[in-house]
Amino acid sequence: MIILKKQYLKILPVLLTLALFTVVNFKDVKYYYERILDSSGLRLQEFMEGVKKENKLARLSEEEYRRIIEAEEGIEEGKREESPDVDLRLNALSALLMDASNNRVLYEENGTKEMAMASTTKIMTCIIALENGNLSDVVSVSSYAASMPDVQLNIKKGEKYYLRDLLYSLMLESHNDVAVAIAEHLGGSVEGFATMMNDKVRALGCEHTNFVTPNGLDAEGHYTTARDLAVIASYAIKNDDFIKITNASTHQFKEITKGKTYTVSNKNRFLYMMDGAIGVKTGFTGKAGYCFVGALRQNEKTFISVVLGCGWPPSKNLKWSDTKKLMEYGLKNYKLRQIFEDVRLDPLFVDDGQKKYEPIELKGDIQLLLRDDEKVHIEYELPEYLKAPVKKDSIVGYAKYYIDDELYETLPIRAMEAIEKIDYKFCLKKIIELWSFQH
């Protein structure tokens, strides 16, 4: 014990000198600390090499990952299915099939072409009413609303109806006078309601749609695209009241003041054409032709189909056959798959950090509908090193998932620990520890 005390007494002046010198010149002490750390062999090179080796073994290469996925799907290596025939020979001037779970386009013909949309407009009219009104609201009919042409409920000026009942009339039989009555009730005017519709469609990310009327009658500047309309429908079917209304076969109601009785019946034949059909809306004008937006939910798959300009009289049934072709194509060729790759990533070196390596992690869950011939690849974007300080959970990089070279999803890679910057107190402590270790 006496010998050990003498050894510590010998180095005590050195340590005191180092402490005093640190106050004067912290950078030099930090440099000295780094040199001692290097010479001590405590940078844990062997440990880090072991970590890298372990991570390399744990990480699946993209080729191996794809092989495992294919094996799970029963696809023999080197015998991928050929690309499906995507020429569906549709009649529509514009057509599109969308995965409603993520709004990914699965098939399209002129899907981004701006076109007239007829009464498919009423999908948005209904959603605006459900989100901004109360189903028990009393709607008074104006002379302007009562004057609407073509398909009508034949409401009269001064009559009163519950909003709930008018929405059934709107969606089951596409009454144009009802659409205007709803618009005036909620927006104060048709123009005010159109502003509400356009604000909503922009919020949904649809940049190629503009609403002028609530009923879809041909009007200058009233247009959409098959893609935008699919996004609107994808949003709409997530509303339980919307589904309840659009899936009803019939609805009976009365005018409030005089008690006149009405019965409306659903004109959407698609509801009875395929198992799992859940909507949505028909439409026709001289400019738009026959139009239809459909929705189908089957075996964890939910599809939205859109056909615009799908024939003119007398070819009103083409919209049904085109819709069925689109839905059958989706059901046959797309399978639900998990494409997230759970990998362990190498720690990143932290320059000027109190710890030299930052462990990082990637978390995610990416399930989507894929064809057998669609290829997924992942690119990891990470810096060569980090600069202290590093906050826990801070984003240090990204994993980018591509489907056939088109970016689908970007996931953040995060720091797992907080690492502070090297300071005077830390340096002094470590120098004392390292000096003691060496002696």
Mind telling me the catalytic residues?
A: 119, 122, 174
Say how many CA atoms lie within 13 Å of 194 toward its Cβ: 16
Q: Report the C-alpha gap between 211 and 233 in whole angstroms.
A: 15
Residues 6+ apart with CB under 8 A from 320: 269, 270, 273, 292
Helix (H, G, I), strand (E, B) or coil at 291: strand
* Closest residue by Cα to residue 237 from 285, 293, 289: 293
CB 296 within 8 A of CB 334: no
Pairing mode, strands 367-370 and 385-387: unpaired
Q: Which of 6, 247, 227 is nearest to 105 (CA)?
A: 227
**Tokens found for residue 8:** 């510590």
Residue 45's H or E segment, with its range, is helix 45-58
What is the DSSP annotation of 64-115? HHHHHHHHHTT--TT-PPPPP--------SEEEEEETTTTEEEEEESTT--B
Q: Identify residue 391 by its one-letter amino acid code.
A: K
The letter for the amino acid at 46 is E
Angle at CA 219, nearest 5°, toward 218 and 221?
Answer: 130
Reduced to 3 states (helix: H, G, I; strand: E, B; else coil), residue 236 is helix
Name all contacts of 253-259 with Cβ < 8 Å and 24+ positions apart: 253/161, 253/162, 253/164, 253/165, 253/168, 253/169, 254/165, 255/155, 255/159, 255/160, 255/161, 256/138, 256/159, 256/160, 256/161, 256/162, 257/158, 257/159, 257/160, 258/159
Report how far residue 86's alpha carbon sits from residue 406's, in angstroms, rounded to the nearest whole number.
19
Residue type, 401: Y
